[in-house]
Amino acid sequence: MARQNSKDKGVKENPIGSGIWWIDCYVSGKRFRKRVGAKTAAKVFYQKVKTEERERRLFPEKYTNKRGTFSELAGDVINDYKVNGKKSHKRAQENIETLQEFFGNCHASDITTDKIQGYIIYRKNKGLSNGTINRELKILHRMFSLASKRTPPKVTSIPYIPHLEENNARTGFFDHNDFLVLKAVLPDYAKLPVTIAYYTGMRIGEILNLKWNQVDFTEGKIVLSPIQTKNKTSRTIYLYGELYDIIFKAWEVRQWHYQDCPWVCQKDGKQIKSIRSAWDKAVKKVGLTGMLIHDLRRTAIRNMVRSGISENVAMMISGHKTRSVFDRYNICSELDLKNAALKMNTFFRTDTKTDTSNFVNDVSH
């Protein structure tokens, strides 16, 4: 058999004469050794390697594993998030750091389904929910997907990555009295963003990044640009009642004291970056511990549907593109179920009364 490199040993038997044969050759200048088994199989495999190299159908990494490490694939994902302007790149970075703890500097070829299942067990033992683990595995799949599309590709295949069953959708929402009690104990700077979230269903990030040039008091509306929204779609939200009043009062305060401040939600003329600390203290104080700021968004969507707004319009206001996610936010309460039962009771006591009496009369005759 012709050698492709003067240093190639080609196919050789294990020195102890066990009948096990090895491939020992160079692929694009890099040494490649692999235990194969029978001599005939080793010869066939060796010929395949050299044929692929000669026809430029393989890249050295396929056999040498010198590229395609976890760290390299992770870096490509972060760059992809930044290049495409994805707002979730910070969360992706956090998930990658968690994955890094387990996979370290593994080569992509070492990250098999068995190893991924080991990661799942590792995270479950730490008390993580299936939803959290799925978000991390989604990033892992994204890493392999991008690597497979590279030129040349950095991986030859994408391992099967399980998707765990999730049953941890939140059911938290505020009734109006709870909202009023909570708002009363919040510091003044936090009342405005919480009120906007309660009435509109806007995400807290959208609210804290809202500027006055996006508020039109003449038309009574807020306009969000695509760059501000999670799904990169512009939205128009009309103002009414208490929502209009509290935003207009904030505008008056700004005109009197902070004319140079462009932010709707401000404290001492500076943009509010977070209200988490104020929120945590307030919910604890009024006995609503465990309620999240995001529960205001769920509440707004629920209230829209129950007020008679069509679900399509509610989705446009809240900024939901997919029906499945919207349905998770459209939460039913015990009161909803009770009202449904009362409506059914009314139906059978009124609408069917005539039919029942007619049936009895027919029988009697």
35 or 337: which carries more pLDDT confidence? 35
For the cut 60, the answer to whether the pLDDT of residue 334 exceeds it is no
Domain ranges within the chain, ordered by starting residue: 10-63, 70-148, 176-329, 333-360
| Phi, psi angles (nearest 5°) of residue 171 | -120, 15
What's the distance, Cα to Cα, between the start and end of the chain in Å?
105
322 or 134: which carries more pLDDT confidence? 134
Cα–Cα distance measured from residue 200 to residue 243, given in angstroms and rounded to the nearest whole number: 9
- Of 62-76, 209-223, 343-357, the range with the highest mean pLDDT is 209-223
> In the predicted model, what is the mean pLDDT of the chain?
78
Question: Would you state the pLDDT for residue 279?
Answer: 95
225 or 86: which carries more pLDDT confidence? 225
325 or 317: which carries more pLDDT confidence? 317
Contact criterion met (CB below 8 Å) for 293 and 275: yes
pLDDT single digits (tens) 35-71 = 777 888 888 888 887 777 676 555 555 554 445 788 8
Give the pLDDT band (50/70/90) at residue 3: very low
β-bridge pairing 215-216 and 221-224: antiparallel
Quick one: CATH architecture of 176-329? Orthogonal Bundle (1.10)
Cα–Cα distance measured from residue 303 to residue 201, given in angstroms and rounded to the nearest whole number: 10
Question: Would you state the pLDDT for residue 17?
Answer: 57
Q: How far is CA 87 from the centre of its chain?
A: 11
Question: Would you state the pLDDT for residue 356?
Answer: 43
Question: Would you state the pLDDT for residue 364?
Answer: 45
CA distances from 72 to 28, 58, 62, 229 (A): 21, 20, 15, 30
Give the pLDDT band (50/70/90) at residue 345: low
Question: Would you state the pLDDT for residue 189?
Answer: 94
pLDDT single digits (tens) 110-167 = 888 999 999 999 999 988 888 889 989 999 999 999 988 887 778 878 889 998 887 6
Closest CA to 180 of 193, 170, 191: 191
Q: State the angle between helix axes of 188-200 and 295-306 in degrees (0 to 180), rounded to the nearest 10.
A: 40
Poorest-pLDDT segment among 56-60, 85-89, 185-189, 309-313 = 56-60
Q: How many C-beta atoms surround the C-beta of residue 132 within 10 A?
A: 17
Cα–Cα distance measured from residue 74 to residue 142, given in angstroms and rounded to the nearest whole number: 9
For the cut 80, the answer to whether the pLDDT of residue 305 exceeds it is no
pTM, to two decimals: 0.55
Q: How many C-beta atoms surround the C-beta of residue 40 within 10 A?
A: 11
- Region 294-299: what's the mean pLDDT? 86
Largest CA distance in the chain: 110
322 SS3 class: coil
Question: Would you state the pLDDT for residue 68?
Answer: 72
